[in-house]
Amino acid sequence: MATSIADRGYINPTKLVTTDWVAAHLDDPTVRIIESNEDPLLYPSGHIPGAVQVDWTHDLNDPLRRDYLDKAGFEALMSRIGVTPEMTVVFYGDKNNWWACYALWVFQLFGHTNAKIMDGGRLKWEQESRPMTREVPTYAATSYQAQQRDDSSIRAFREQVLEHAQEGLPLVDVRSPAEYSGEKLHMPEYPQEGALRGGHIPGAHNVPWARAINPDDGTFKTADELRAIYEGEKHLMPDDDVIVYCRIGERSSHTWFVLSYLLGYKNVRNYDGSWTEWGNLVGAPIER
- Give the catalytic positions in this structure: 246
Element holding 32 (H helix, E strand): strand 31-35
> Can you list the positions of beta strands (E) in 141-246?
171-173, 205-206, 241-245
Element holding 161 (H helix, E strand): helix 158-166
Element holding 225 (H helix, E strand): helix 223-227
- The CB density around residue 6, as the number of other CB atoms within 10 Å, is 11
- Strand bridging mode 171-173 / 241-245: parallel
For CA atoms 160, 206, 90, 53, the dihedral sign is: positive
At 16 the three-state DSSP class reads strand
At 168 the three-state DSSP class reads coil
- CB 217 within 8 Å of CB 1: yes
> Can you list the positions of beta strands (E) in 64-154?
88-92, 115-118
- CB 251 within 8 Å of CB 131: no
- Cα dihedral: 103, 157, 145, 94 (round 10): 0
